[in-house]
A and B are shown apart, each in its own frame.
Chain A
Amino acid sequence: MTPILSIQQLTAGIEEREILKGIDLVVNPGEVHAIMGPNGSGKSTLASVLAGREDYTVTGGSVTFMGKDLLEMAPEERAREGMFLAFQYPIEIPGVSTANFIKTAVGELRKHRGLDPLEPAAFLALMREKMKLVEMDSSFLNRSLNEGFSGGEKKRNEIFQMAMLEPTLAVLDETDSGLDIDALRIVAHGVNALRSPTNATVVITHYQRLLDYIVPDVVHVLWNGRIVRSGDKSLALELEKRGYDWIKNEAAVEA
C-alpha cells in the first residue's frame, strides 16, 4: 500500500531558529492520526510546513505526498493535488462571498484535474448539501468569507470547504480550539462523515477532548520538534490523565 503521506527526518524552522528537529511520520489511506503535544512543541509549524507557508524554511529531510515530492510544490499546487489544511485561525475576506470563494477554489481544483466547471445549479445544490453536513444555514453562502462569523462558524466553514474540496489528506490544525461542546460535536461529525478508505486525516490538537469524537488510529506526541512517542488511542487518554510532563521528562532522559 502506497502511503498518502510519508515524512522522513524533516527539519524546518523560522529564520535562524530550528523548530522541527527530525520528524518521521507515515500516514496510510483510511487512517486518522492525531498529533498531540504541549504548546510550542512544533505542531502548528508542522501543519504550516506541510501546506507550504513561506515563513518557514525546510532545512532537511523529505516529504512525499501521493508519491510526489511535496516540498517542490507551490502551496496552491499542494492544494490542487489534494492536500487540505483547516486553519487554526481562518482568515476573513471582505467582499468575497463564501459561495464565490469556494466556487473559485473548486474551479481551480477541477481545472487541475482536467474537468469542466460544474453547472451553477448543480454546484449550488452541492454547496447546500455540504452546508447541512456542518449544520450551517445556506445564508452563509452569500456572506463575505468568515466576516462577522463567530469562532465556531469559522471552524464549521473550514469543514464545509473541506467537504467541497474532498481532499486526499486533511490536516486539522487545532480545529477544536475555541469551540464549545456543541460546535465540537458538529465539526467532528463533519470530519467523520468525510472519512473514507482512500483518504486520511491528521488531527493536530492540544487536548484529548476532540479525540472522543474523532477517533484516531494512531496518536503521536510531539515534543521539542520530535515525535517522542506513538501509540494507539489509549496514549491520548494517558496524556489526559498524566499531563505532558512525564513525556517531557522521559524525552529528557533519553536525550
Chain B
Amino acid sequence: MNSEQSILDDVVGSEYKYGFTTDIEQELLPPGLNEDVVRFISAKKEEPEWMLEWRLKAFRHWQTMQEPAWPNVSYPKIDFQDIIYWAAPKKKEGPASLDEVDPELLATFEKLGIPLEEQKVLAGVAVDVVLDSVSVKTTFQDKLKELGIIFCPISEALRDHPELVRQYIGSVVPPSDNFYAALNSAVFSDGSFVYIPKGVRCPIELSTYFRINARNTGQFERTLIVADAGSYVSYLEGCTAPQRDENQLHAAVVELVAHERAEIKYSTVQNWFPGDKDGNGGIYNFVTKRGVCEGAHSKISWTQVETGSAITWKYPSVVLKGDHSIGEFYSVAVTNNKQQADTGTKMLHVGKHTRSRIVSKGISAGVSQNSYRGLVKVLKVAEGARNFSQCDSLLIGDACGAHTFPYLEIANATATVEHEATTSKIGEDILFYCNQRGIDTESAVALIVNGYAREVLNQLPMEFAVEAQKLLAISLEGSVG
C-alpha cells in the first residue's frame, strides 16, 4: 500500500521531459499582426511578388473570418494581436555546414535526441529541423538530389522551385478554407517542401522536427508534399515545445498531393507541451492537414500519435478524386490532466471504387476531454465506394470524458460503409487483476494502452513506433491514483 502510494507520487511528480528552453539570440518582431507584418515576413524570406500577393489576399480574407466555435473544446479567447509572428535564430550568413551552426542550437537538438550527423544516415532518416520560424538545417539533400527528390525548407523551394510551389500551394487547402488555414497562409514562416519525381521510391524516411522555442510566439509552418505518378514517400514529423506558463498557438497547414499510382505515408508524433497538471500553459494545436488522391490508384495514409498540446484541433483528411484511390487514417490521441482534443478525419469519396479506412483510438485520463469527429462523404458520382471506420475509446479513471461524433453523408446507393465503435475502461478491477499477477499499476497501464493502440502503432516506421510506445506510457504516468 505505502510503497504503491510512493510510486504513484513519484510518477505524478514526473514532468514534461522536453520542457527546456534554448538560450539563443533571437530576432523577434513585436507582437501584433497587420499587412506590414505579412510584408516583413515575405521580405525576410526574399519571396517572389506573387507569394506576397497570395499572403496578403489570405490575410485580408482572414480578417473577415470568425474563429470556429463548433469543436468540443473550451479556452479563453485568443488575442491575435498579442502573438509574435516572426522569431528566428539570429545568424550572420546562412550556415553552409554544421560547424557554423550555433553550438547552443546543436545542443538543443542533442537534448531532443536528433543528432544531425552521420548516425541519421545509418538510421535512414533525413531531417528538416524547424526551430520556431526558420528551417535550420536539412540533411542529406545531396543524396536525395541524385534521385531528383526535392526535400527542403519551403522558403528555399520558393526561391529554387517557384513554379512547383506556385502550382501546388493552396491547391489542397485554399487560404479561405478555414480561419486558421487563412491565418497560416498569411504568416507562415517556414515548413517543408517535398517533391518526389515520377516513378521514384524515396529510399529513406523523410522527417521534420518542429520545436517552439521563443516565448509568446506562434508557430505557423506549412508543409507541401507532392508525389508524382508512381512514386512513394514516407514522411514523419515530430513536435516538442518548451514548458511555458502561457499558451502558445500552433496553426500549421499540411498539403499532400498524390498523382496516379503514387503513395504518401504521413506520420506524426505530436508531443507539444500539454500544460501542467492544473491546466496552465500548453500549446493550442490548431492544424489543417489534407491530402488529395489526384490520380487513379493513388494512396494517402495518415498516422498520428497525439499525446501533447493543451488543445488539439485537427482532422487529417483525404479527398479521393482518382478512381480506385485509397485514403487511410490511423490515430491514437491521448489526453491526460486537463488536456482537450477534438480530432478525427474527413474522407471525401469522389472517384469510382475509392476506399477509405479509419481507425481511431482515443485514450482519456485525468479530467481530460477527448472527442473523435469524423466525416465520411460519398458523392453521387462515386460508384462503388467503400469505407470502414473503427472508433474506440479507452477511459482511465472516472473523471475524464470520451465523445464520438461520426458523420455520414452518402449520396450513392452503391457505397458500402461500416462503422464500429467500442468504449472500454481501465478500472480498478483490471488493475487489481494485473497487480495480482505481479504487474504494478504503471506497467499495467502501459501494457493495456500499448495493446489497445497497437493497430495504429504498427503503421509507424519501426524506429518511431518504439519511441511512440514510450511516449504513450510517459503521457499517462500518474493517470491512475
Which residues of A are at the interface with B, using a C-beta cutoff of 8 A? 51-55, 72, 74-80, 84-85, 87, 90-91, 93-97, 100-102, 104-105, 108-109, 112, 144, 161, 165
- Whose C-beta in chain A lies nearest to the C-beta of B426? A93
Query: Quick check: B428 and A54 within 8 Å, CB to CB?
Result: yes
Give A48's nearest chain B residue, CB to CB.
B432
B451 and A79 form a contact (CB under 8 A): no
Encoded as 1 (CB less than 8 Å from any A CB) or 0, chain B from 229 to 242 comes to: 00000000000000
Task: Determine the distance from Cα of A84 to Cα of B438 in the docked complex, in whole angstroms.
Answer: 9
Partner of A96, one of B422, B435, B451: B451
B156-174 interface bits toward A, Cβ cutoff 8 Å, 1 = contact, 0 = none: 0000000000000000000
Contact among B3, B438, B451, B453 with A108 in the assembled complex (CB-CB below 8 Å): B438
A101 adjacent to B447 (CB under 8 Å)? yes
12 additional contacts, CB 8 Å, given A75-B435, A76-B441, A93-B430?
A: A52-B435, A54-B428, A75-B432, A76-B4, A84-B436, A93-B434, A94-B424, A94-B451, A101-B437, A102-B437, A108-B440, A161-B437
Q: Which residues of A sit under 8 angstroms from B441, Cβ to Cβ?
A: 76
CB distance from A79 to the nearest CB of B (A): 4
The 4 closest A-B pairs by CB, nearest first: A95-B451, A75-B435, A96-B451, A79-B438
1/0 per residue, CB under 8 A from A, across B419-435: the answer is 00010100011101111
CB pair A165–B437 under 8 Å, yes or no, is: yes
- B-chain residues with CB within 8 Å of residue A76 when the two chains form the complex: 4, 434-436, 438-441
B454 at the interface (CB under 8 A from A): yes
A51 touches B436 (CB 8 A): yes
Among residues of B, the one whose C-beta sits closest to the C-beta of A90 is B433
For A165, the chain B residues whose CB sits under 8 A away are: 437-438
Chain A residue at minimum C-beta to C-beta distance from B452: A95
**Distance (Å) between the CB of B60 and the closest chain A CB?**
50
Q: Is B443 an interface residue (CB 8 A)?
A: yes
Most buried by B among A76, A93, A108: A76
What's the minimum C-beta distance from A107 to chain B, rounded to whole angstroms?
9
| Alpha-carbon gap, A109 to B438, bound state (A) | 6
Binding site for A on B (CB under 8 A): 1-4, 422, 424, 428-430, 432-441, 443, 447-448, 451-454
Contact A95 B454 (CB under 8 A): yes
A52-B441 Cα distance, complex, nearest whole Å: 14
CB distance from B362 to the nearest CB of A (A): 14
Q: State the CA gap A71–B86 with chains docked (Å).
A: 61
- B447 near A104: Cβ-Cβ < 8 Å: yes
User: Which residue from chain B places its CB closest to the CB of A83 in the assembled complex?
Assistant: B436
B439 contacts which chain A residues (CB < 8 A)? 76, 104-105, 108
Most A-side CB within 10 Å, residue of B4, B422, B428: B4
| B452-A79 in contact (CB<8A) | no
Task: List the B side residues contacting A80 at CB < 8 Å.
Answer: 438
A-B contact pairs, 9 of them (CB 8 A): A72-B2, A76-B438, A78-B436, A80-B438, A87-B433, A95-B452, A101-B447, A102-B437, A165-B438
Residues of A within 8 A of B435 (CB): 52, 74-76, 79
What CA separation (Å) do A144 and B430 show in the bound complex? 13
CA distance A101 to B451 in the complex (A): 10
Is the Cβ of A74 less than 8 Å from the Cβ of B3? yes
Chain A residues positioned under 8 Å from B443 (CB to CB): 104, 108
B447 touches A91 (CB 8 A): no
Question: Are A97 and B451 in contact (CB-based, < 8 A)?
Answer: yes
How many angstroms between the C-alpha atoms of A116 and B228 in the bound complex?
51
- Considering the chains assembled together, what is the distance between the CA atoms of A105 and B441 in angstroms? 12
Chain B residues with CB under 8 Å of A97's CB are 451
Closest CB-CB distance, A204 to chain B, in whole Å? 15
Q: Which residue of chain A has its CB nearest to the CB of B455?
A: A95
Q: Are B451 and A105 in contact (CB under 8 A)?
A: no
Given known A-B contacts A54-B432, A74-B3, A112 and B451 have beta carbons under 8 A apart: no
Measured CB to CB, the closest approach of chain A to B3, in angstroms, equals 5
Which of the listed residues A75, A101, A144, A161 has the most CB atoms from chain B within 10 Å of its own CB? A75
Q: Do residues B430 and A91 form an inter-chain contact, with CB atoms below 8 A?
A: yes
**Which one of B3, B428, B433, B437 contacts A77 once the chains associate, using CB atoms below 8 Å?**
B3
How far does the alpha carbon of A91 sit from the alpha carbon of B428 in the complex, in Å? 11
A97 to B451, CA, bound (A): 8
Please tell me which one of the listed residues A74, A96, A104 contacts residue B1 in the complex, with CB atoms under 8 A apart: A74
Question: How far is it, in angstroms, between the C-alpha of A95 and the C-alpha of B426 when the chains are bound?
Answer: 12
Given contacts A94-B424, A104-B443, contact A79 B433 (CB under 8 A): no
CB distance from B8 to the nearest CB of A (A): 11
The residue from A77, A91, A105 contacting B429, defined by CB atoms under 8 A apart: A91
Cβ-defined contact, B436 with A75, below 8 A:
yes
Instruction: Determine whether the beta carbon of A105 is less than 8 Å from that of B448.
Output: no
Residues of A within 8 A of B424 (CB): 94
The distance in angstroms between the C-alpha atoms of A77 and B2, with both chains bound, is: 12
In angstroms, Cα B432 to Cα A72, docked, is 16
CB-CB under 8 A from B440, the residues of chain A are 74, 76, 108
Minimal beta-carbon separation of B464 from chain A (angstroms): 20
CB nearest neighbor in A for B424: A94
CB proximity of B129 to chain A, nearest CB, Å: 35
Query: How distant is the Cα of A52 from the Cα of B434 in the complex, in angstroms?
Result: 12
Partner of B436, one of A85, A94, A102, A104: A85
What are the residues of chain A within 8 A of B453 when measuring CB–CB?
A: 95
Cα A109 to Cα B435 with chains together (Å): 12
Task: Name the CB-closest residue of A to B4.
Answer: A74
User: For the complex, what is the distance from the CA of A167 to the CA of B434, rounded to whole Å?
Assistant: 15
From A109, which residue of chain B is reached at the shortest CB distance?
B438
Rounded to whole angstroms, the CA-CA distance of A178 and B454 in the bound complex is 33
Query: Whole-angstrom distance between the alpha carbons of A139 and B447 in the complex?
Result: 20
Residues of A within 8 A of B432 (CB): 51, 53-54, 75
What CA separation (Å) do A50 and B432 show in the bound complex?
13
Of residues B435, B441, B453, which shows the largest number of chain A Cβ atoms within 10 Å of its Cβ?
B435
* CB <8 Å contact, B451 and A100: yes
User: Could you tell me the distance between the alpha carbons of A72 and B2 in the complex, rounded to whole angstroms?
Assistant: 8
| Residues from chain A with Cβ under 8 Å of B447 in the complex | 96, 100-101, 104
Chain B nearest CB from A122 CB (Å) reads 19
> Cβ of B436: which chain A residues have Cβ within 8 Å of it?
51-52, 75-76, 78-79, 84-85, 87
| A85–B3 alpha-carbon span in the complex (Å) | 21
Residues of chain B within 8 A of A90, CB atoms compared: 433
B433: chain A residues within 8 A (beta carbon): 87, 90-91, 93
Smallest Cβ distance from A154 to chain B, in angstroms?
12
Q: Least Cβ distance of B476 to chain A in Å?
A: 15
Cα–Cα distance between A109 and B434 once the two chains are bound (Å): 12
Question: Cα distance A74–B436 when bound, in Å?
Answer: 9
**What is the bound-complex CA distance between A84 and B454, given in angstroms?**
29
* Contacting residues, chain B, for A91 (C-beta < 8 A): 429-430, 433
